[in-house]
Structure 1
Amino acid sequence: MDLSDLLQSWLLALKADGRADNTLTLYRQGVEAYLSWCDSEGLPQVLDRTQVRTWTSALQDGGAEPATVAARQSAVRRYSKWLWQEDEQETDPLAGMRPPKQAEKLVNPLTEDELKRLLKVCAGKTFEDRRDEAVIRVLANSGMRPGECAALWVSDVDLLSGLVVIRKSKTGKGRVAHIGPKTCAAVDRYLRMRRAHKQADGPMLWLGTRGRGFSYAALWSMVKDRAAQAEIEGLNPHRFRHTAATRWLMAGGSEGGAVTAMGWSSRRMLDRYTSATRSQRAADEARQLNLGDL
């Protein structure tokens, strides 16, 4: 069995199941990282429980982020399970293998001041300014995943109703997100300027400059550049999701509504994304309850 050759077949099967392109990339990178490590250590490219554990430890000792270690090991475990299900191997040697423990990483949401500073640096009248303000408002308002935002089509947006159709998410399930009046106005300003773009007839909502598209990588780069202009450290597109979830709860929104709006399948993800402000929200609620008023 050649694990490298069969990797392509696994990815094709995942794509047929509706997995997002970003997910396929992460899975491929995880398996390829393991196979490369096997080669560098002079070990056979086999799915052996002890060998995978050694590789996991090597990643941790090498300073890889806990989330990266967990994601890469998960990819190898999922690959092993698929090989067994497809009768490419008689057993799944990694069945029941536990993922590496990782401490909960607190991600602080953007403050109101930081959000305003970001929008301020996009307050110009160029094509990039109009696009970047619209993208940032959509991310902060809806809490959609950066990959979902980058993949939007013009036809996915209904500005009169304030609804955005997310046709394909990380989980493979579509949903509808809501955006407010100011976000709709920003998207409308961008769309009016978009009419003069060379690729205006194309389906993609967000367009780049100089004849290039506006991919997930381009969105990531734009956010980093705008963060530098606004003097905000450590900002990446995923923090907008943390911010949207936190603002939803702080404004009195229900937990069930937040889970649905963000496209999560369980309450656990809501807890993870809003953990940094849990104590603050509890203190605010305690003040409203005023249980000491006896």
Structure 2
Amino acid sequence: MGTRTRQILRREKMEITISTLLELFLATKSTEGRSDRTIGWYKEKLGPFVRYLGNGHDALLPNLNLERARAFVASLQERDSRFAEHPYRQTLKGGLSPFTIHGYVRAMRAFSAWLVEEEFVTSDPLAKLRRPKVGEPMIEILSEQELSAIFDAISPNTVAGARIFAITLLLLDTGIRASELYGLKIESTHMNEDFIKVLGKGSKERIVPFGSTTKKALLRYINTWRPEPEMPTVSNLFLTPSGGPMTYCALRHCFAQIELRERQII
């Protein structure tokens, strides 16, 4: 390849918008077999970063540099509220946690490393971007009063209510991950033996037992309120009202609605 050809290619790369590169990055992750939730996580973290770089315009590749990245992280640390632009979460006072900011930096570093792999740049522009230190998060146990408030906010005599009632009991009873729950298949729900088979990280299958109260809620949902699947290939235990498989976003929306009702009750 001649010098002039290399110069032309380099100039063309410099004229690609970062938003276009982000779309290519997400498409690459999809072809690599990453889950929809992972793709959504990258989009959620990198979207604000790309908008920050552009400052109201389409940023170009030269705008992606260590100085601007550090300024973006500093802006995250200076926030005094959360969920300001969220479609259904209520805006809360208080800045982002170090754990949340750590996630932004991880996504930014992954994006810049991908730019090197795909030869859009010759060196990683964010290689020296440090992740904030985070401690081990302590999981807070819900009190009886908090649990009562949650169940008081659920109307179990509707499709959505019976579903979230069963979901809440199953999560509390088994401690399975959210991804394991919305990916749970009805054929993996063994009601006679009182256990479920879940597919966890690394595609490892394990058996998780549940109690009698959870069993009653599951049977009530399955026998009375579970919609007909929209397609024969849909075998998820928990379905949307239209019969589609439940997603992570749908699960988050359910609990966000409970939170809003709980606040109204209190």
Would you say same fold, with TM above 0.5?
yes
Q: 1:103 Cα shift?
A: 6.5
The residue aligned with 1:22 is 37
Q: 2:126 aligns with which of 65, 78, 94?
A: 94
Q: 1:178 aligns with which of 208, 213, 236?
A: 208
What are the Cα deviations for residues 240-271 of structure 1, in whole angstroms up to 9, with x where unaligned? xxxxxxxxxxxxxxxxxxxxxxxxxxxxxxxx
The residue aligned with 1:251 is none
Q: How does 1:197-216 map to 2 (within 5 A)?
A: 197=228, 199=230, 202-209=234-241, 214-216=246-248
What are the Cα deviations for residues 60-114 of structure 1, in whole angstroms up to 9, with x where unaligned? 2233513332222221110111222233322223225321245766552212343
Q: 1:37 Cα shift?
A: 0.8
- Say whether the 8 Å CA contact 1:163–1:179 is kept in structure 2: yes
Q: Which has the higher contact order (CA 8 A, sep 6+)?
A: 1
Q: 1:177 Cα shift?
A: 5.0
TM-score by length of 1: 0.64
- What is the distance in 1 between the residues matched to 2:36 and 2:229? 26
Consecutive aligned runs of 4 or more in structure 1 exceeding 6 Å deviation: 210-213
- What is the distance in 1 between the residues matched to 2:33 and 2:202? 5
- Say whether the 8 Å CA contact 1:18–1:172 is kept in structure 2: no
The residue aligned with 1:37 is 52
- What is the distance in 2 between the residues matched to 1:163 and 1:80? 44
TM-score by length of 2: 0.70
Greater Cα shift, 100-109 or 17-26: 100-109
- What is the distance in 2 between the residues matched to 1:209 and 1:99? 41
Q: 1:33 Cα shift?
A: 1.6
In structure 1, runs of 5+ residues without a counterpart are 234-294
The residue aligned with 1:13 is 28
Whichever residue aligns with residue 109 of structure 1, its letter is: I
The residue aligned with 2:7 is none
Q: 1:30 to 1:174 in 2, by over 3 A?
A: same
Q: 1:25 Cα shift?
A: 1.2
Q: 1:52 to 1:225 in 2, by over 3 A?
A: closer
In structure 2, runs of 5+ residues without a counterpart are 1-12, 81-94
Note if 1:138 corresponds to 2:170: yes
Greater Cα shift, 77-86 or 45-54: 45-54
The residue aligned with 1:191 is 222
The residue aligned with 2:71 is 54
- Say whether the 8 Å CA contact 1:38–1:45 is kept in structure 2: no
Cα-Cα RMSD: 3.4
- What is the distance in 2 between the residues matched to 1:144 and 1:95? 35
Q: How does 1:279-294 map to 2 (within 5 A)?
A: none
Q: How does 1:46-85 map to 2 (within 5 A)?
A: 46=62, 47-63=64-80, 64-66=95-97, 67-85=99-117
Secondary structure (helix, strand or coil) at the match of 2:123 reads: coil
Q: 1:53 Cα shift?
A: 0.9
Q: 1:62 to 1:120 in 2, by over 3 A?
A: closer
Q: 1:50 to 1:140 in 2, by over 3 A?
A: same
- What is the distance in 2 between the residues matched to 1:105 and 1:111? 18
Whichever residue aligns with residue 62 of structure 1, its letter is: R
Q: Identity over the aligned pairs, expressed in percent?
A: 23
Equivalences, count:
232
Q: 1:206 Cα shift?
A: 1.7
Q: 1:198 to 1:157 in 2, by over 3 A?
A: closer
Whichever residue aligns with residue 65 of structure 2, its letter is: D
Q: 1:180 Cα shift?
A: 1.2
Q: How does 1:144-159 map to 2 (within 5 A)?
A: 144-159=176-191
